[in-house]
Structures are given as C-alpha cells and as structure tokens.
Structure 1
Amino acid sequence: MTRWLTDVRQRFAQAAAGQQAPPPDGAPRSLGEAVASAAASEPGPVPPPPSSEPAPRPPETHPVPKVVRDAAEWSWRLILIAAAVAGVGWLAWELRVVIFPLVAGLLLAAGLQPLVRRLRMAGWARGPAAAVVFVGFLLVVVGSLTLVGNAVGGQFQDVVDQAEEGLQEIRNWLSGPPFSIDEAQLDSYIDRAVNVFQDDSSVTEQAATAATVAIEILVGLALALFALIFFLYDGERIWTWVVRLFPARTRARAAAAGDVAWLTLGQYIRGTVLVALFDAVAITVLLFILQVPLALPLGVLVFFGAFVPLIGAFVTGTVAVLVALVTQGLLIAIVVLAGLIVVQQVESNVFQPFILGRMVRVHPLAVAVAVAIGTLAGSIIGAIIAVPIIALVNTVGSYLASTRERPPPVAPG
C-alpha cells in the first residue's frame, strides 16, 4: 500500500510538471488497477490453529443395554464379596477352638480396658494395673458361681422332691380328659424313651461327643483367659504392630478406624452388661416374691442368657417358668411367664434402646437379622458375636465413608 501511494504521488507530480512517464514494470496503469492491486496484495485473515481436542465421537451402539451391563458388573463383584465372606466364615468355623476364645478375650478386654486405663491414669504401672483388673474379674466370676452353687446345693433336694410330685401331677393330667392316656400307655412311652438313651451305641457316641465338647470348652476357656491377660497388658502395642501391616499411606486412617472400633466395642459390652443386669434383677425379684425355689441361680442364668440379644433372656427365663410349674403349680407358672414377657417388653422397647441406642447405633432389624444369621452359622457363639460384628462394621464403615479422601480442588484458571 505504501509503494502504491508513492507511485501515485510521483505520477501526480509528473502530470503537474507536464511530463507523462510510463508506469514502471508491474505498476498499475490506472487508479482502479492500483486499488485492485492493493487489495490483492493485502494479507487475508489468518486461519485459526487446529484444535487439540479430539472431535466428538458419535454415540456408541451396544447390543446389551447399559442397565444390564451395570447389573452384571455389580453382580460379579457382589459374588466375589460373598465368596470372600463365606471363606472367612468357613475358616473361622474350622478354627473355632482358637478363633472363638480369641474373640471372647477381645470382648472381655474391651469391657475391662477402661478400668486398666483409670488405674494407669492414677499412677499405676501397666503390668500391675492389668494384673489387678484380671484378678478382680476372676474373683467376681468365681465368687458368683460359688454363690450360685451353694444356693443350688441348699435347695436342690427340695426341688427334686417337688419335681417328682409335679411329674406325678402331670401323669394324672395326661390320664384324665381330654388326653385320656392310661398308665400302661404312658409307661410304655417312658420305657421307649429310656431304651433309646440306654442303647449302647447311643451312649458311646454321646459320651464321645460330651468328652470332645468338654475338652474344647476347657481349651477355649484357658486360651480366652490367656489372651485376656495380654490384651489388657499389651493391647496397644499389639494394635500398633497390626497397623504397621497396612500400606504407609493408609496407616493413619487404619489406626483411627481401629480406635473408633475399639470404642464402639467397649460401649457395646458395657451396654449389654447393663441390659443383662436389668433382666436378671427383675426376674430374680419376681421369683423371690412368688417364692419360687432357686430364684438366685435362675436369675444368674437369665443374666448370662441375656448376652444373646433378643432371645437369650427369654429362653433362659423359660427355665424359671418350668421350675415354677413343677414346684408351685400352674397358676404361679402363668404369673412367672407373664412377668417374663413384661420384663422382656420393657427391656426391648425402653431400656435397651435407651442404653444401646445411645452407645451403639444399630437398628433393631439389623440386630434381628444378625442374630438369626449368627445362630444358623455358629449356634450360640455365633449369636453372641453377631451383633458386635454388625456394630463394628457399621461404625467403621461410617467413619471411613465420612473421612474418605477427596481430590484436591482445581485452582481457578
């Protein structure tokens, strides 16, 4: 454009001077040609650089709907999880002589650890504090069992005599209407039952089974007490060693989750003890008022049975109903049964939700399902440990979900 303006000025200057010079080679011969030439020489718009982002792909077409594919992916993952849980359960059942005593020692340690902590805060060393709590626990258990044994021994013969009278009354009921079973038929039924239990092979098998169970109980009891000592004395260092097995980046969260689980377990044990004590005291007072024999031993039985949630106290309480039926008659047995039902209703609807609901937040439906599964999988022991496991899974899962690592925020550009 500058060159064209220079040429135009030169031509106007030559025209003013009366000279007509030919345009140089390549120069425009007229103003229109100059304008067209200048327009042609101007650079055009610069095209934008090619984008680095890939072009959008057309939507994929798949023969299987996405919902079905998602369901299939979830299905095989759930199958793997169920297989892993089943494998762990099978291994625990095969090693139950070792696993269950360790679990029992862990549960006892969770309930007794606050006492050890208080003694250590008062200036006691770790060893003496653990020893005092352990010995005190043994004295309480052995003393209660001795008290129950003395009570049973003092009233046992009276109960046996009254039981014989009660059985005779039952035979009289069966021989009358509406059953009308004569003495001969009833004696034949009793003889058949006795013959079944007196069979040599049955007696031998039962003796072998009883001996095996007795050995397992003794070994498990010794292992549970041994584990309890070390859990009280060295529990913190044992957990520190376990935490070191985790990857370095997850050790902090694992240690925190373990602390939450231990706190939950201790609260559950203390809450269960309070609930069991409520059931035992209420039933014992009722039996003393009705003058049912063996009231104190039956109350202790209800106390230990209450450690099986929902059904334990009621099942052991039915023994008190049977004793009342045999020793005091049908009317007193009905009163004991009604009192047992009332106590269970108050405990289930008022006391237990107030205690355990504040300590361990587990829904009653989850408790019922856990007890049913635990009973099917591991009998009484499975029913006892099922609810603590559900409580631990609930608490630890909620903690890990609430502290899940989130991606760092993107800085504004």
Structure 2
Amino acid sequence: MRGGLRHAYESYRSRRRSAGLRAGTPGTTSADVASLAPVPPPPPAASGVAVSPPLHSSTTSRDDADVPHALRIGAAWSWRLLAIGIVAWALLRIVGQIRIVVIPLAIALLLSALLAPAVGWLLRARFPRSLATAVVLVGGLAAVIGTLTRVVNEFIQGVPELSEKSSQGVRQIQNWLQTGPLGLNDQQLDRYVDEAEAWLNENIDGLTSGALSTAATLAEVLTGTILVLFATFFFLRDGGRIWRFLVRLVPVNARWKVDDAGQAAWRTLGAYVRATVLVAFIDALGIGIFLVIFEIPFAFPLAALIFLASFIPIIGATLSGGVAVLIALVDSGPITALIILGVVIGVQQLEGHVLQPLIMGRAVAIHPLAVIVGIAAGVVLAGITGALIAVPLIAVLNTAVRRLATRTVPETPSDAVVVASKAP
C-alpha cells in the first residue's frame, strides 16, 4: 500500500511539473525537468506477497477482475433478462386486472381498421365526419344484429328435429355397442351410464358455481359491448387526433420514427383485418354450399359460425367445421359426415396454401409457428378473445419493430415536429 501511494504521489507531482513547464512557470530548474521522467513501478514487496493484477477494461474493482470474463458477461445478461421478465410479468398482471377495458379497446381497434375505408368513402363524398362515422357504425351493427337474429331463429326452428335425430343416433350407437366388436351387454351399458351419472353428481357443485357466475359474465359482456361501440366510434372519428397526441408524448427526436412505424403498423392491421374477412367469407361460403347440397340442418348458422371462427387463423375454421361434421353424422350418417369432413379439409388446404398467401401478401406474412404460439398464448391469457387478437397483435408488432429497426429517418427536432403535426 505504501508503495502504491508513493507511486501515485510521484505521478501526480510529475503531471503538475509538466503542466508548469508547458505554461512557462518561472523558476523551473533542470532538476525539475529531470524529475519528469516516468516513475518506475514499485518493486515487489519484500514479504513475498504477490502484487494484484491490473484491472480489466470491463471491471471497476479488483474483486471483479478475479471473476472470469465469460462469467461476468453471463451474469450481466442474466440480471437484465430477469429484470425484463419481471416487467413483462407485471404488465401482464396489470392487463389481467383491467382486461374488461383492454380487450374491448383491442376489439374496437380491429373494427376500426375494418370500417375505416367505408368512413373514408363517405368523407370523400363530403359527409360530415361525425355523420359518416355514425352511418358506418350503425350499418355494421344492423348487419350483425340481422345475421344473429336469423341464426337464432333457424336454430330454434331446427332444434326439435335435431333432438329427435340425436335420440335415434344414440340408440344406433347403443345397438352398435351391443352387436358390434365390443359386444357389451345391457348390464355393462347400465353400469357405464350409472358411472356417468355418479360423475355428474360429484361435479355438480363446480357446474353450479360456473352457472352462478353467468350473471357476472353477462354484466361484463354488456359493459364490454358498450365500451367497444363507443371506442370504435371515437377511433373512427378522432383517430388522427388521438394518434397525434400519443406521438407528442415521446421525445422530439424520436417522433418521426414513431409516427412512421405507427402508420405502417396501422396499414398492416387494416390489411390483415380486411384479408381475414375475405378469407373467412370464402371459407364459410365454400363449406356452406356443400351443407346446403347435402341438406344438412342449420346450414346458415353453421356457415355463420365458420365465418366467425375463421378470424382465428389455422384452427378456427377447423373447429367450426368439426361441428358441421358432427351434425352431419347425427343427421345423415357416416358417409355424408366423411364427405363434409373432406370438404372442410379441402377448404382449409385452399385457405392455407392459396388464399392467405395471395390475399394477405407479404405485408402481413407471419411464420406459421409464430401464429400457433401466439394463439396458444392468447388462449392461456385471455381465452377465445386472446386467440382472436393474438395474431393481429403479432403482425402489428412485427411491422412496427421492423420499421423502427431498418428505416432511416431524419431526427432533427424541426422535422419531427412537422411530421408529428401532419399525422392522420
């Protein structure tokens, strides 16, 4: 320690003397000039204690210098990733607590991206902005209500006939279990039925508690529906002003980039929603035509179900098509059900290999693995609604991140202010 302190003191004196010579300090002697020579490092201690190694450029203390460089880098990555994970977990918890607000706003954004072109047409026809938004929103709401009314009416009219055919199908299954390869007798069938009833009685409390929570669920659905309508109206009418307000919240030098990435993400969302609507319509029309040809009951409700389920890519139309196959099995037998199953698979292949690449194009191209993982995460976090908004969220984030990372834009404050003021 004494040697180190002496070395530091001599270095300090040398720098002071050098500064005095350069400044022309009077009274500087040749001895002072000679003393400017570099001071050799202190010799090893006589006691045999090893001198500490020099500090690494990435460390701030000699204790860190004793840790291997690779381990220090790994530890630095680890605590940063851990901090990011904690922040992400906290955000998910917050979103989960206010999901009754976040989910309706996400659905309102999807509807706004779908209806924005219609509002633009009315604005170009010199409609007032509020009137154009109200006309489009009311027209879309009327179309949805009319479709749901027809679906419910057809379902109510066809339930008695389907129930009768379902009873016939159950009796056919019982006969097959007795006369088929399984060869079950009446006692075995009765035992299995009794076990099913016992299971139902044991789990009746859980089923009842789920039914009792239906009132709260209906209240949340009603609240979310009202919020979706209001948010969609204001997004369509005042979306430009809302976006300009959000852009002004970021630093001035970053406004140009944020505005450019946001507009690109909005175009991607609009293209995705419109392409999804077109693909869903083609799926519903293709499967619905075969349902009508083979006189499957509930053809229109099933087509409407397929249309709505097709908004969940890859798995939506498959699951809804499975419902059509089951109804065809109950109503018309296994041969017709196999034909409907082939139709569903054929439509899915047409959608995956022709329609989506052709209609969506490269603007919203996402790898199928990312789609599957996103849908699974959405189902775990928010159920069916999460599966609905997961893929468009991935598409929007993909476009925004790519634009922020690759596009070179001016970053001067004046340019940023001009661009932010002209955002739609």
Q: TM-score, normalised by structure 2?
A: 0.77
Deviation per CA, 1:318-357: give whole Å up to 9, x if none.
1111101111111111111122111111111221122223
Q: Distance in 2 between matches of 1:85 and 1:405?
A: 29
| 2:235 paired residue among 228, 231, 234 | 231
> 1:243 — aligned with what?
247
Moved runs in structure 1, 4+ residues, more than 6 A?
405-408
> 1:93 — aligned with what?
96
**1:283 is aligned with what amino acid?**
I
Q: How does 1:317-356 map to 2 (within 5 A)?
A: 317-356=321-360
How far residue 222 of structure 1 moved from its aligned partner, in angstroms, is 1.7
How far residue 264 of structure 1 moved from its aligned partner, in angstroms, is 1.1
SS at match of 1:181: coil
Q: Distance in 2 between matches of 1:328 and 1:99?
A: 44
> 2:293 — aligned with what?
289
Larger radius of gyration: 1
| 1:310 paired residue among 311, 314, 320 | 314
Deviation per CA, 1:137-191: give whole Å up to 9, x if none.
1011111112222322332222121111111111111222322233343344334
8 Å CA contact retained: 2:379, 2:386: yes
How far residue 267 of structure 1 moved from its aligned partner, in angstroms, is 0.9
8 Å CA contact retained: 1:196, 1:202: no
Q: How does 1:54-133 map to 2 (within 5 A)?
A: 60=56, 62-133=65-136
Deviation per CA, 1:187-245: give whole Å up to 9, x if none.
44334434554676345313212222222222211211121111112221122222222
> 1:157 — aligned with what?
160
Q: How does 1:135-284 map to 2 (within 5 A)?
A: 135-194=138-197, 196-197=199-200, 201-202=205-206, 204-284=208-288
Tell which deviates more after alignment, 90-99 or 396-405.
396-405
> 1:46 — aligned with what?
none
Q: Distance in 2 between matches of 1:71 and 1:255?
A: 36
Question: CA distance change for structure 1 residues 303 and 163 in 2, over 3 Å: closer, same or farther?
Answer: same
Q: Percent identity?
A: 42
Q: Distance in 2 between matches of 1:316 and 1:227?
A: 29
8 Å CA contact retained: 1:283, 1:340: yes
**1:160 is aligned with what amino acid?**
S
Q: CA RMSD in A?
A: 2.6
Question: CA distance change for structure 1 residues 175 and 114 in 2, over 3 Å: closer, same or farther?
Answer: same
8 Å CA contact retained: 1:271, 1:359: no
| 1:384 paired residue among 371, 381, 388 | 388
**1:140 is aligned with what amino acid?**
A
How far residue 275 of structure 1 moved from its aligned partner, in angstroms, is 1.4
Gaps of 5+ in 2: 1-35, 37-53, 58-64, 413-424
> 1:400 — aligned with what?
404
8 Å CA contact retained: 2:104, 2:225: yes
SS at match of 1:124: coil
8 Å CA contact retained: 2:253, 2:411: no
Which fold has the larger relative contact order, with Cα–Cα distance below 8 Å and residues 6 or more apart in sequence? 2
Q: Distance in 2 between matches of 1:67 and 1:285?
A: 64
Deviation per CA, 1:227-282: give whole Å up to 9, x if none.
11111122211222222222222223222222111111111111111111121111
How far residue 360 of structure 1 moved from its aligned partner, in angstroms, is 0.8
SS at match of 1:308: coil
Q: Distance in 2 between matches of 1:405 and 1:115?
A: 31
SS at match of 2:213: helix
8 Å CA contact retained: 2:256, 2:409: no
SS at match of 2:181: coil
Tell which deviates more after alignment, 174-183 or 137-146.
174-183
Question: CA distance change for structure 1 residues 223 and 197 in 2, over 3 Å: closer, same or farther?
Answer: farther
Q: Distance in 1 between matches of 2:260 and 2:124?
A: 22
